[in-house]
Amino acid sequence: MADLAQAQAGATMPGQPYMELVNVWKRFGEGDKQTVAVRNVDLAIQPGEFVTLIGPSGCGKSTLFNMIAGLLPSDSDGSILVKGKAQQDGALLGKVSFMPQRDLLFPWRTVLDNATLALEVEGMPKRLARQKAEALFPEFGLKGFEQHYPHQLSGGMRQRVALMRTFLFERDLILLDEPFGALDALTRSMMQRWLLDIWEKHRRTVLFITHDIDEAIFLGDKVVVMTARPGTIKCQETITLPRPRDVSVVTTPEFMEVKKKLLAVVEEESLKTFASATMRP
């Protein structure tokens, strides 16, 4: 009875993944010109889990992201389930909060008005949206910058505005596509630790796409490795490093061991991408 009540309330049943991808495919174009971007992807994301997804450039990570976000329909072969329920085309849009690979801040909007954008699109009154956003500024290290414009901020700050917008759109699953890819190493490392702090506090389910192995291990409860295109899941590695994690974890034997293992797999896939790109007739 309790389970039924929980299911009716829209909660995840005990042991049930928040999201499941079952045999998901994406092909672009027709006939000779067809590109298979993603093939036969099976993946389960548990509630509250921090999943990192890694794979060589062009393997289909962003395509997968777009399908999960509901921005792109997946081919009819497979299905995407949320709390055990298959989602029809378009039904996923608005169910997850996402931050695309390019941060998409509007240059003509202030930082505050950029942060509230998703809430406004959802129909929340501007005043309420601003109130909600303003409360998060200190935590996101942006207090005092509410009325600045994106061009007045550093790269790390711009990414925090985009992340704040994503967090403000309160959905159970947060999708992040290489959010720190364009940052310098030091800023990137600071942002990783900061993101973990935020995540420990809010405990949302996260799917984080990256092409950096250290980042994938440092952040994740589980690292999922994709093959070269057409991308599918090559392997998954559970990361048992204790939390909260700080920068010293990267020098531990456990970290080194899992890195060595994943490096071998990722390198094998990257070489395939390199070979297919350079040996074309």
Residues making contact with ligand ADP (CB under 6 A): 28, 35, 37, 55, 57-63, 229
- Report the partner that residue 63 touches, choosing among Mg ion, ligand ADP, none (CB closer than 5 to 8 A by kind): ligand ADP
With contact defined as beta carbons under 8 Å apart, do 39 and 25 qualify? Answer: yes
Number of residues counted as binding Mg ion (CB under 5 A): 2
Token digits of residue 60: 């289909």
Token digits of residue 223: 């690292």
Shortest reach from residue 22's CB to ligand ADP, in Å: 19
Tell me how crowded residue 252 is: count the other CB atoms within 10 A of its CB: 13
Shortest reach from residue 186's CB to ligand ADP, in Å: 25
Contacts for 199 with CB less than 8 Å, ≥ 6 apart: 50, 206
- Report the partner that residue 57 touches, choosing among ligand ADP, Mg ion, none (CB closer than 5 to 8 A by kind): ligand ADP
| H or E, element range at 231 | none
Shortest reach from residue 261's CB to ligand ADP, in Å: 21
Q: Is the dihedral of CA 273, 183, 50, 121 positive or negative?
A: negative
Burial tier of 58 (Cβ tally within 10 Å: 0-12, 13-18, 19+): middle
x/- map, 35-64, Mg ion, by CB under 5 A = --------------------------xx--
Nearer to Mg ion, 102 or 260 (CB): 102
Shortest reach from residue 56's CB to Mg ion, in Å: 11
- Report the partner that residue 204 touches, choosing among ligand ADP, Mg ion, none (CB closer than 5 to 8 A by kind): none
Token digits of residue 244: 């909260």
Token digits of residue 15: 């042991």
Nearer to ligand ADP, 19 or 37 (CB): 37
Residue nearest to Mg ion (CB): 62
- Report the partner that residue 229 touches, choosing among ligand ADP, Mg ion, none (CB closer than 5 to 8 A by kind): ligand ADP
* H helix intervals, 25-122: 61-69, 111-115, 117-121
Q: Identify the residue whose tokens are 């009819």.
A: 76
Q: Is the dihedral of CA 230, 236, 241, 245 positive or negative?
A: positive
DSSP state of 21: E
Shortest reach from residue 274's CB to ligand ADP, in Å: 14
Nearer to ligand ADP, 183 or 226 (CB): 226
Shortest reach from residue 197's CB to ligand ADP, in Å: 27
Residues lying near Mg ion in the complex (CB under 5 A): 61-62
